[in-house]
Homo-oligomer: A and B are copies of this chain.
């Protein structure tokens, strides 16, 4: 596998502005950049698109929409409106997918929260089809079910994809799914249905914070080689996107971090 499938999500080098991230990733032989919507406002979609075109970087996905419980507090259909807006922004910068995160159930019904995710996905899928952008549903680790994401397994994501249609794709993240005993048996089906991006990171031992303590692939408990091999065997040919939410890695020199991502990509992806 050459480096054409290697992307870094900009959350991995959060001290860089979007402009600096695009410039530096391109200089450092990174093929793609995962972009965050709050960072996108620094440049706006038109200027960002120009920079992407000029550097040749691809965008595996735009992060993020969803968070239904939070957005629904703002007003009726706020989550749906945000999802449509994110789809438009993705189209404007040439990203094929917008990352959709379910949001937690809080102390309310988990079953209802999951139903609401299905409703919003279904309602947003029409706009996604019109615009030509997929909604990338990312199952979240079960420990996030109450606070961040109520869709917790690849199996659930595949079911929603089948219910709703082609506009829903799956985004797989090592941190969220490495523990899942049903992962292997669902990968082939998921790949056939559409896996938009594979997020690489690792499960740090111990994990000291539920969000900001992920490890670099190879430094944690997950079977990174096995994950990539299984994806490839299942027919996956999409991007591998380094997404390291980590206070430790955020504090390091971003150029060094990018070099380590490159080294890990070569270690785990080139052998496949």
- Distance in angstroms between the alpha carbons of A206 and B144 in the assembled complex: 10
Please determine whether B182 and A155 come into contact, CB atoms closer than 8 angstroms: yes
A78 within 8 A of B: no
Asked if A21 lies at the interface with its beta carbon under 8 angstroms from chain B, I say no
Determine the main DSSP class of A at the interface with B. Answer: loop
Restricting to A149-180, which residues have a CB under 8 Å from any CB of B? 152-153, 155-156, 178-180
Does residue A145 face the partner (Cβ distance < 8 Å to B)?
A: yes
Answer whether residue A146 sits at the interface, using C-beta atoms and an 8 A cutoff: yes
The segment from A5-13, A107-115, A254-262 that touches chain B is: A107-115
Check if A207 is an interface residue, CB within 8 A of chain B: yes
Question: Given the complex, which residues of B lie within 8 Å of A104, measured CB to CB?
Answer: 205
In Å, the complex CA distance between A69 and B110 comes to: 33
| A206 with B143: CB separation less than 8 A | no
* Total count of chain A residues near the partner, CB < 8 A: 34
Q: Is A236 an interface residue (CB 8 A)?
A: no
* Pair A107/B141 contact, Cβ less than 8 Å: no
- Contacting residues, chain B, for A188 (C-beta < 8 A): none
From residue A102, how far is it (CB to closest CB) to chain B in Å? 12
Contact B221 A106 (CB under 8 A): yes
- Asked whether A75 is an interface residue with its Cβ less than 8 Å from the other chain, the reply is no
Asked if A147 lies at the interface with its beta carbon under 8 angstroms from chain B, I say yes
Say which residue of B106, B146, B181 sits within 8 Å of A153 (CB atoms): B181
**Cβ contact of A179, chosen from B145, B155, B205, cutoff 8 A:** B145
Q: How far is the CA of A204 from the CA of B47 in the complex (A)?
A: 44
Given contacts A156-B181, A181-B114, A181-B155, contact A221 B142 (CB under 8 A): no
How many Å lie between the Cα of A226 and that of B108 in the bound state? 13
Q: Is the CB of A179 within 8 A of B203?
A: no
Q: When the two chains form their complex, are residues A143 and B146 in contact, meaning their CB atoms are under 8 A apart?
A: no
Q: Which of A181-199 contact B (CB under 8 A)?
A: 181-182
19 chain-A/chain-B pairs, Cβ below 8 angstroms: A106-B205, A107-B205, A107-B220, A109-B223, A110-B178, A110-B179, A114-B181, A143-B143, A143-B207, A145-B221, A146-B206, A146-B207, A146-B220, A146-B221, A147-B206, A152-B181, A153-B181, A156-B181, A207-B210
Given A106-B221, A146-B221, A156-B181, list of 20 further CB < 8 A pairs?
Answer: A105-B221, A106-B205, A107-B220, A108-B221, A109-B223, A110-B179, A114-B181, A141-B143, A142-B143, A142-B180, A143-B143, A145-B178, A145-B179, A146-B205, A146-B220, A152-B180, A152-B181, A153-B181, A153-B182, A207-B210
